[in-house]
Amino acid sequence: QKEVEQNSGPLSVPEGAIASLNCTYSDRGSQSFFWYRQYSGKSPELIMSIYSNGDKEDGRFTAQLNKASQYVSLLIRDSQPSDSATYLCAVNQRGNNRLAFGKGNQVVVIP
């Protein structure tokens, strides 16, 4: 079982719609969870961090964490063409400082 899994294929959403991305992780003791946005040809940019169960909102982004089910999700409301990017889920491994990354989900917002 992979440490962090993002299984959805490319996601196409119309402008103004909600994009929903999911991520599952294997280490039940993981404590810190992150979403990165990566534009083509650029390095990953941290957009959300979440540490406790529930929802965390920041502008048009909402991160949701459910430790019992070992998943973390990202919602992008009112999607804009500038949101077109690959979104990477990252999980901190218990007991050390390393992050494990999922393979990423490409989001394409269609005007």
Among 34, 35, 61, 87, binds other proteins (CB under 8 A): 34
Q: Which stretch binds other proteins (CB under 8 A): 14-22, 44-52, 54-62, 64-72?
A: 44-52
Q: Which stretch binds other proteins (CB under 8 A): 18-26, 42-50, 54-62, 72-80?
A: 42-50
Cβ contact 99:88 at 8 Å: no
Among 37, 63, 104, 109, binds other proteins (CB under 8 A): 104
Q: Tell me the DSSP string of 32-55.
A: -EEEEEE-TTS--EEEEEE-SSEE
Does 102 bind other proteins (CB under 8 A)? Our answer is yes
Among 8, 15, 46, 78, binds other proteins (CB under 8 A): 46
Tell me the closest approach of the beta carbon of residue 71 to other proteins, in angstroms: 18
Q: Which residue has the tokens 């009112």?
A: 78
Q: Report helix, strand or coil for 82.
A: helix
Closest CA to 80 of 56, 40, 100, 109: 109
Q: Rounded distance, CA 72 to CA 41, Å? A: 26
Does 25 bind other proteins (CB under 8 A)? Our answer is no
